[in-house]
């Protein structure tokens, strides 16, 4: 039987086991929307802005590990999706973005709603395709999903001219795909693994530095076994939180610009750095010339281009995190006994001394609501078990520092691109994936306004997420930098026309609660989570000029932190 | 542990990289885009289909420290359209470039140009009453030398093909 191109697209999505597509219609994709209308295997979620579609698909992907799928029209539909594609790209999130294109004969004509989507997205995708022939749709989809989900994952854009979505052809989905130019299967070098284990056993001041790659590569189990068998301290990046439990005493917290004192000092003084699925981002390393001066470095990563990009490593290991750590763990079964117990004990004593600084302390007696306090209470009310999405700013750092993630895929934030507006649509995507789990979006009054329109999507699909708005009346993170580095000249970082968020939430058909006193924080949170099937917007009026500590100013080393 | 420490010792070298890539629309812009996005140098770049029309062969000349060029190669290898990449600089190889020059050649200049062409094994491939168009092939040094030898003659147009490269020996890149 022959199917139209549009019907073939749906069949491809079914074959890939896709349950949700996040999208927004327009002229170039109307055939595809018509095909959606005629079936109910794949559910289409109508967002209110294409950026929302990309973040929702991204949140869905981060929480589930499955690729998120987006469908947008040509021209402005595609350009609106760009921020979300770049967000997913920077954090290596598997995503398929289907963009409509003007009919083939109009391409290059400056036709109505024509943009070169493949050209615009080229630097922010793992790969992209322009389909020229209805016969190529099935194979292209197979390739796109294969590329997006294997190796170091990433977004893939498929641009489809309108005319070929109406043409008919017999459908057959390839069961296998072989691309001579793309071969993500790597087997880590055994010799390198042995060398790494030797260094691990001999280390006197080791530090495990694990990143988002462990979560994306589903390596949390292996990481736990590994860390516990050695008994070494572990620090995690903003993207890696939850791969190893924050509540485990071996965890010294997050590292980097707003990392803990013990993590950053531990990094700086280590003699062996074991980097796993992390990419030595500038927010993590601080000034490169001061980075870990005494450490030998082992780096395990799926992407060879990540290795020795910013920091030269001594033992590179390219491979899947699960496979590499399984091999390491097997060797450690015998070797772990031989670690230098005396030196490690001394090292822990030193780390505990740094810990005693209690770098995350804040005024717990404050009557004015402290943002940190809200996060700690949120942890208690949700038993530390909620899916937490966030936007970008101080609230994001507070969430990372104070929520204490014990499980992977629970902490969902835009670490690489730092996209304000990510939190709400991402939460919507997570809630669709896990309707029975608690999902909260930690945000600020500036960030939330960037994709606010998705409150309407939440209403339409009945997605009772909880919004934790830490409202300090400032673009807090910008204000903090202006306080520290621009003598408090608060240029454009203040909002003096904020909406009434309670009324706003209510106008979308949700519940709004304003909280102004510390004593009301806990009851308000409890009330919000009691309302199982309502979206509750909690507007916490917080200390206006609270800062995120510790902080490493730019140009400083990891041992040069500003503490409270 | 960190590159910056060695900055003073890090020398920039010329590298010639050979790339087999899918002969698909957009493949070339992926390569070119990578260089501009990551602020790598391109000195020259040539690309054309091979005997297998589904593949293009590209020769790319870049300069950078060893670390940077290693990154360049890794990033190029990551492009889904890149089938195979060899840094020819690592091994013995041959390089050729073609230059076409249209120059003013009147009276005694006509003989002089022909003599210079003899020396460089070049050819006159087109002429008018007042001009010659000549071609010379060779490695970059030879091409530079030709240009130097013709320096005192008015050149109307110069076009260089950019480097082509191939490893010596009996092995192919595929
Ligand atoms: C789309 C986008 N624009 C600008 C920025 C720069 N930026 C980073 S944090 C921030 C302020 C965020 O303010 P708010 O959401 O209120 O959070 P707070 O820092 O106060 O917690 C800005 C403007 C960004 N990250 N993303």
Q: Which of A500, A491, A436 is nearest to A463 (CA)?
A: A436
User: Is residue A513 in contact with ligand 1, taking CB distance under 6 Å?
Assistant: no
The minimal CB distance from A312 to the residues B1, B37, B77 is found for B1
**Contact list, A311 vs chain B (CB under 8 Å):** 1-3
The minimal CB distance from A292 to the residues B1, B4, B75 is found for B1
Query: Over the stretch B68-101, which tens digit does the pLDDT of each residue have?
Result: 999 999 999 999 999 999 999 989 999 999 999 9
Interface of A with B in 10-69 (CB under 8 A): none
**Contact list, A293 vs chain B (CB under 8 Å):** 1
Would you call A304 an interface residue with chain B, using a CB distance cutoff of 8 Å?
yes
Would you call B65 an interface residue with chain A, using a CB distance cutoff of 8 Å?
no
Q: Which atom of ligand 1 is nearest to the CA of A480?
A: 19
Would you call A282 an interface residue with chain B, using a CB distance cutoff of 8 Å?
no
- pLDDT on residue B174: 65
As separate numbers, helices (DSSP H) first and strands (DSSP E) second, chain B gives 4, 9
DSSP state of A311: B
Interface of A with B in 109-128 (CB under 8 A): 118-119, 122-123, 126-128
pLDDT at B4 > cutoff 60: no
Q: Which of B87, B80, B79, B34 is nearest to B60 (CA)?
A: B87
**Contact list, B35 vs chain A (CB under 8 Å):** none
Residues 6+ apart with CB under 8 A from A356: none
Q: Is A50 a catalytic residue?
A: yes
Query: Over the stretch B32-65, which tens digit does the pLDDT of each residue have?
Result: 999 999 999 999 999 999 999 999 999 999 999 9
Would you call B9 an interface residue with chain A, using a CB distance cutoff of 8 Å?
no
Q: Which atom of ligand 1 is nearest to the CA of A472?
A: 20
**Contact list, B83 vs chain A (CB under 8 Å):** 180-181
Q: Closest Cα of chain B to A147: distance in Å?
A: 8
User: Is residue A396 in contact with ligand 1, taking CB distance under 6 Å?
Assistant: no
Q: Are A538 and A528 in contact (CB under 8 A)?
A: yes
Would you call A179 an interface residue with chain B, using a CB distance cutoff of 8 Å?
yes
Using DSSP, state whether A558 is helix, strand or coil.
coil
Straight-line distance from the first to the last Cα atom of chain B, in angstroms, rounded to the nearest whole number: 36
Up-side HSE of residue A105: CA atoms within 13 Å toward CB?
Answer: 1
- pLDDT on residue A164: 98
Would you call B5 an interface residue with chain A, using a CB distance cutoff of 8 Å?
yes
**Contact list, A147 vs chain B (CB under 8 Å):** 80
Give the number of other CB atoms < 10 A from CB of residue A156: 29
pLDDT at B7 > cutoff 80: no
Cα distance between residue B47 and residue B28, in whole Å: 8
Q: Is A162 a catalytic residue?
A: yes
Residue nearest to atom 8 of ligand 1 (CA): A393
Q: Which chain A residue's Cα is nearest to B68?
A: A309
Q: Which atom of ligand 1 is nearest to the CA of A396?
A: 21
Q: Are A98 and A9 in contact (CB under 8 A)?
A: yes
Which residue of the set A113, A192, A350, A453 is catalytic?
Answer: A113
Q: Which chain B residue's Cα is nearest to A120?
A: B33
- pLDDT on residue A336: 84
The minimal CB distance from B26 to the residues A118, A291, A311 is found for A118
Using DSSP, state whether B111 is helix, strand or coil.
helix
- pLDDT on residue A182: 95
Query: Which carries the bigger pLDDT value, residue A188 or residue B4?
Result: A188
Residue with tokens 């003899």, as numbered in its chain: B118
pLDDT at B1 > cutoff 50: no
Which residue of the set A2, A112, A345, A353 is catalytic?
Answer: A112
**pLDDT cut 90: percent of chain B above it:** 89
Per 3-state DSSP, chain A is made up of helix, strand and coil in percentages (nearest 5) of 40, 20, 40
| Residue B68 to residues A78, B59, B75, Cα–Cα distance (Å) | 34, 18, 10
**Interchain proximity A292–B78, CB inside 8 Å:** no
User: Is residue A474 in contact with ligand 1, taking CB distance under 6 Å?
Assistant: yes
User: Is residue A543 in contact with ligand 1, taking CB distance under 6 Å?
Assistant: no
The minimal CB distance from B3 to the residues A147, A292, A312 is found for A312
**Interchain proximity A181–B3, CB inside 8 Å:** no
What average pLDDT does chain B have?
93
**Interchain proximity A295–B1, CB inside 8 Å:** yes
- Test site for ligand 1: of A420, A471, A484, most ligand atoms within 8 A of the Cβ: A420
Give the number of other CB atoms < 10 A from CB of residue B120: 18
**Which helix (H) or strand (E) segment is A157 a member of?**
strand A155-161
DSSP state letters, A43-69: EEEE-SSHHHHHHHHHHHHHHHSSPEE
Under 8 Å CB pairs connecting chains A and B tally to 54
Tokens of A184: 């993500």
Residues 6+ apart with CB under 8 A from A110: none
- pLDDT on residue A496: 83
Residue with tokens 């190889």, as numbered in its chain: B93
Ligand 1 mean position to A478 CA, how many Å? 7
Q: How confident is the model at residue B171 (pLDDT cuts 50, 70, 90)?
A: confident
**Which helix (H) or strand (E) segment is A459 a member of?**
helix A454-461
- Test site for ligand 1: of A446, A448, A450, A483, most ligand atoms within 8 A of the Cβ: A446
Tokens of A455: 């409150």
Cα distance between residue A255 and residue A523, in whole Å: 33
Interface of A with B in 333-392 (CB under 8 A): none
User: Is residue A449 in contact with ligand 1, taking CB distance under 6 Å?
Assistant: no
pLDDT at B8 > cutoff 70: no
Q: Are A477 and A392 in contact (CB under 8 A)?
A: yes
Which residue of the set A265, A477, A551, A561 is catalytic?
Answer: A477
The minimal CB distance from A182 to the residues B33, B71, B80 is found for B80
Q: Is A112 a catalytic residue?
A: yes
- Test site for ligand 1: of A54, A257, A392, most ligand atoms within 8 A of the Cβ: A392
Query: Which carries the bigger pLDDT value, residue A346 or residue B173?
Result: A346
Cα distance between residue A450 and residue A84, in whole Å: 12
Q: Which of A376, A512, A393, A401 is nearest to A445 (CA)?
A: A393
Q: What is the pLDDT along chain A (564 residues), one digit of tens a residue?
A: 899 999 999 999 999 999 999 999 999 999 999 999 999 999 999 999 999 999 999 999 999 999 999 999 999 999 999 999 999 999 999 999 999 999 999 999 999 999 999 999 999 999 999 999 999 999 999 999 999 999 999 999 999 999 999 999 999 999 999 999 999 988 999 999 999 999 999 999 999 999 999 999 999 999 999 999 999 999 999 999 999 999 999 999 999 999 999 999 999 999 999 999 999 999 999 999 999 999 999 999 999 999 999 999 999 999 999 999 999 999 999 998 899 999 999 999 999 999 999 999 999 999 999 999 999 999 999 999 999 999 999 999 999 999 999 999 999 999 999 999 999 999 999 999 999 999 999 999 999 999 999 999 999 999 999 999 999 999 999 999 999 999 999 999 988 899 999 999 999 999 999 999 999 999 999 999 999 999 999 999 999 999 999 999 988 999 999 998
């Amino acid at each position: 039987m022959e199917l139209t191109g549009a019907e073939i697209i749906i069949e491809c999505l079914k074959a890939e086991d896709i349950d949700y597509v996040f999208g927004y219609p327009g002229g170039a994709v109307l055939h595809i929307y018509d095909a959606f209308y005629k079936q109910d295997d794949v559910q289409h979620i109508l967002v209110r802005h294409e950026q929302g579609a990309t973040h929702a698909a991204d949140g869905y992907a981060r929480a589930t590990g499955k690729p998120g799928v987006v469908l947008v029209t040509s021209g402005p539909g595609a350009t609106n999706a760009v921020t979300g594609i770049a967000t997913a790209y920077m954090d290596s999130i598997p995503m398929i973005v289907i963009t409509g294109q003007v009919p083939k004969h109009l391409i290059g004509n400056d036709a109505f709603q024509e943009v070169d989507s493949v050209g615009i997205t080229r630097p922010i995708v793992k790969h992209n395709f322009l389909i020229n022939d209805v016969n190529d749709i099935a194979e292209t989809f197979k390739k796109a999903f294969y590329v997006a989900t294997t190796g170091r994952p990433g977004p893939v854009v498929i641009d489809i001219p309108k005319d070929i979505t109406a043409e008919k052809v017999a459908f057959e989905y390839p069961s296998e795909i072989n691309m001579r130019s793309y071969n993500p299967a790597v087997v880590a070098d055994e010799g390198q693994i042995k060398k790494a284990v030797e260094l691990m056993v001999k280390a006197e001041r080791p530090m495990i530095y694990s990143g988002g790659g462990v979560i994306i590569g589903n390596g949390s189990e292996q990481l736990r076994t590994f860390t516990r068998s050695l008994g070494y301290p572990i620090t995690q990046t903003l993207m890696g939180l939850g791969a190893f439990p924050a509540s485990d005493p071996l965890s010294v917290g997050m590292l980097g610009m707003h990392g803990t004192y013990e993590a950053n000092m531990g990094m700086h003084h280590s003699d062996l750095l074991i980097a796993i699925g992390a990419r030595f981002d500038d927010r993590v390393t601080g000034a490169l010339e001061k980075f870990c001066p005494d450490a030998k470095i082992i780096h395990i990563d799926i992407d060879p281009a990540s290795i020795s990009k910013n920091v030269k490593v001594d033992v590179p290991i390219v491979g899947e995190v699960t496979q590499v750590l399984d091999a390491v763990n097997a060797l450690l079964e015998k070797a772990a006994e031989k670690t230098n117990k005396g030196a490690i004990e001394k090292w822990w004593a030193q780390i505990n001394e740094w810990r005693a600084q209690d770098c995350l302390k804040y005024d717990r007696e404050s009557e004015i609501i402290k943002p940190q306090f809200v996060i700690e209470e949120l942890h208690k009310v949700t038993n530390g078990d909620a899916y937490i999405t966030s936007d970008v700013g101080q609230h994001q750092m507070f969430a990372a520092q104070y929520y204490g993630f014990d499980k992977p895929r629970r902490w969902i934030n835009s670490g690489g691109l730092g996209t304000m507006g990510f939190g709400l649509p991402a939460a919507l995507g997570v809630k669709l994936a896990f309707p029975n789990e608690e999902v909260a979006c930690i945000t600020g009054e500036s960030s939330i306004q960037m994709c606010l329109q998705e409150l309407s999507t939440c209403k339409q699909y009945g997605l009772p997420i909880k919004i934790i708005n830490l409202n300090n009346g400032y673009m807090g993170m910008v204000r903090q930098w202006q306080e520290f580095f621009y003598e408090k000249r608060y240029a454009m970082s203040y909002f003096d026309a904020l909406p009434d968020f309670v009324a706003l939430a209510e106008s979308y058909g949700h519940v709004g609660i304003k909280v102004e006193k510390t004593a009301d924080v806990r009851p308000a949170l409890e009330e919000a989570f009691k309302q199982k099937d309502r979206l509750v917007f909690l507007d916490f009026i917080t200390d206006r000029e609270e800062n995120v500590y510790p902080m490493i100013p730019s140009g400083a080393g990891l041992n040069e932190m500003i503490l409270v | 542990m960190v590159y910056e420490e060695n900055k003073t010792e890090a020398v920039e070298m010329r590298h010639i990289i050979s790339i087999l890539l899918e002969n698909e629309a957009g493949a070339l812009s992926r390569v070119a885009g990578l260089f501009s996005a990551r602020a790598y140098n391109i000195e020259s770049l040539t690309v054309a289909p091979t005997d297998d029309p589904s593949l293009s062969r590209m020769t790319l000349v870049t300069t950078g420290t060893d670390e940077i060029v290693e990154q360049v190669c890794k990033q190029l290898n990551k492009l889904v359209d890149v089938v195979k990449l060899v840094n020819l600089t690592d091994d013995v190889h041959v390089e050729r470039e073609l230059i076409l020059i249209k120059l003013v050649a009147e009276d005694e200049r006509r003989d002089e140009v022909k003599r210079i062409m003899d020396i460089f094994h070049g050819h006159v491939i087109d002429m008018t009453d007042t001009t010659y168009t000549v071609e010379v092939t060779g490695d970059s040094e030879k091409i530079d030398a030709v240009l130097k030898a013709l320096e005192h003659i008015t050149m109307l147009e110069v076009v260089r093909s950019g480097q082509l490269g191939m490893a010596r020996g009996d092995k192919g890149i595929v």
